[in-house]
A and B are shown apart, each in its own frame.
Chain A
């Protein structure tokens, strides 16, 4: 794969431009026209996920031998942004499948596990999910109370996971459970569980503010038995696996947030051309111009942070701080842009006839999941202070 330099930030290499264009075309033609309906009716975009799978978008970084597109993380970030620009929910499904489900298996799985748990999930026919949070702990991931005990040649899992995206539509889950509570976070291990499976049940679908085409629910494990070979990575490595997965996942969510922010900006800019007040298009008014300018700066700066984080990851350099910065900046850009977009649209921004209100609702979750903005700040500060040896 080609070595990217920072001039790529100014102009993307041809392959990346092409893949960005194909994702944008798909989003414009197939997702944007139905996004409102998917949102209103809480419909999982199964057909679109299939189509995206056949385009390679559900497994961008997965090597070709395993059925993926064999591209890099920058390409993945571009894909998620373009898809999210068409439909924030679909972008979320793409991101969760790529980063949170396939990501850890690709990095920590055995060859056999990769073939069994990744390849069927590259085509869009099946999607996976990631179960770390519990009713008792979100940000405090180390306090996981879900347990896994060994019984003969099986692991037996017990506990409840909360807020699991894709849960009702998934065919497998990466679950984090403690194999040794005395070791605290160092006793957590990762497991692969097929869905449906005896001992695994789903809670009610949450009725969410936004990204309504995705399903979010509890996963309840009640003496859920899986073969010993279903442990992902080594015993006690679960917390590390989760944290590293979230590091990369942050770039995916940043990209989703960018897509939503860009869609909100485009909506506002388009409206500013068309809506007239005081005898001229409102785009002539400085109050509107300043809003659009601030929105554009917010999106573009978050985008560059996101691309940089992706490129550092591709160059196998440390990227934890940059990924956290990207997620923080992009999610705050999404909420800012969607808020201002409604303002530019005025009353029209408040009704479902225009997509602005959906962008506002979709944007909000990006500041919360895969690490709240507050956690991102802790990560960034930690990295900064560590480097300056405070």
Chain B
């Protein structure tokens, strides 16, 4: 009942206008502002709150990626995580890194670190996959509480209120478990200046996927990336009959 693992992903900042590369192989990331995925911020906040309630002893922040991923880990440390793990993935491997490989890495780390709880953001705002939490739980054969808007530890179980299409669903799952954070779970704290200073002294361990016995070869190949089609202006009609006529005309009905 001692350790929480939190995943943090470095993504293009939500406020940036994303542009497709001229060769359509992906989006432009060079020189573009990056920050911690907003759902990962919520995950970190929840983990730190649980530790502050003395329900866990240690929060470990993990990020997979190139050298710059340590900046994201450092932000997690400044929010209150105790130490970090940087799993180094660079170049073409990083470009093809997806939920399956990341879940394998998290599953391996969850076992290695003897984590009782793994908290992840529900999805990343760059790929919107919404898979890593679920895959990690499946690989570990652990229960999962996804789209969490409320998390409560009750002994060796976790009560999770999930945001689902029909409303809210409350489940109770045994630990060790995987939880993914949804928008309304909490409001992430601002990193305070003293905590930024303290974060400097906290350790970030560096390792490669091979050190964890994980094969990160991708089973997916991105063929092409395009901008969404430019949205065309609509047409206003006067009556319902006109509307039906227009829809028939365009072959929609």
Question: Interface residues, chain A, CB within 8 Å of chain B?
Answer: 14-15, 17-19, 21-22, 25-26, 51, 54-57, 60, 64, 69-71, 75, 79
CA distance A64 to B193 in the complex (A): 11
**Residues of A with C-beta under 8 A to B199:** 18
Give every chain A residue within 8 A of B193 (Cβ-Cβ): 19, 22, 55-57, 60, 69, 71, 75, 79
Note all chain B residues with C-beta closer than 8 A to A79. 193
Select from chain A the residue with minimum beta-carbon distance to B17.
Answer: A273
Cα(A57)–Cα(B195), bound, Å: 12
Q: A14-B71, A14-B74, A15-B200 are in contact. Are A22 and B190 (CB under 8 A)?
A: yes
B196 and A19 contact, CB distance less than 8 A: yes
Interchain Cβ contacts under 8 Å between A and B, 13 examples: A18-B75, A18-B196, A19-B193, A25-B190, A26-B190, A51-B190, A55-B192, A57-B193, A64-B197, A69-B193, A69-B197, A70-B194, A75-B193
Rank and list the top 5 A-B pairs by shortest CB-CB distance, nearest first: A56-B193, A69-B193, A55-B192, A22-B191, A18-B196
Does A55 contact B190, Cβ atoms closer than 8 Å?
yes
Instruction: Please name the residue on chain B nearest to A25 by beta carbon.
Output: B190
Question: Across the interface, which residues of A come within 8 angstroms of B196, CB to CB?
Answer: 15, 18-19, 22
Which residues of chain B in 157-198 are interfacial with respect to chain A, using CB atoms and an 8 Å cutoff? 190-194, 196-197
Please state if A56 and B190 are interface contacts (CB–CB under 8 Å). no
A-B contact count (CB 8 A): 48
Across-interface contacts of A70 in B (CB, < 8 A): 194, 197
Q: Which chain B residue has the least Cβ–Cβ distance from A28?
A: B15
Question: CA–CA, A71 to B78, complex, Å?
Answer: 14
A273's closest neighbor in chain B, by CB? B17
A22 CA / B71 CA spacing, docked (Å):
13
A54 and B192 within 8 A (CB):
yes
How many Å lie between the Cα of A54 and that of B191 in the bound state? 10
Residues of B within 8 A of A21 (CB): 35, 75
Interface centre among B35, B191, B194, B196 (most CB of A within 10 A): B196
B residues less than 8 Å from A57 (CB atoms) = 193
Q: B194 near A69 (CB under 8 angstroms)?
A: yes
A15 pairs with B190, CB closer than 8 A? no
A79→B194 CA distance, assembly (Å): 13
Look across to chain A and name the residue whose beta carbon is closest to the beta carbon of B35.
Answer: A21
| Given A69-B197, A71-B197, residue A18 in contact with residue B192 (CB < 8 A) | no
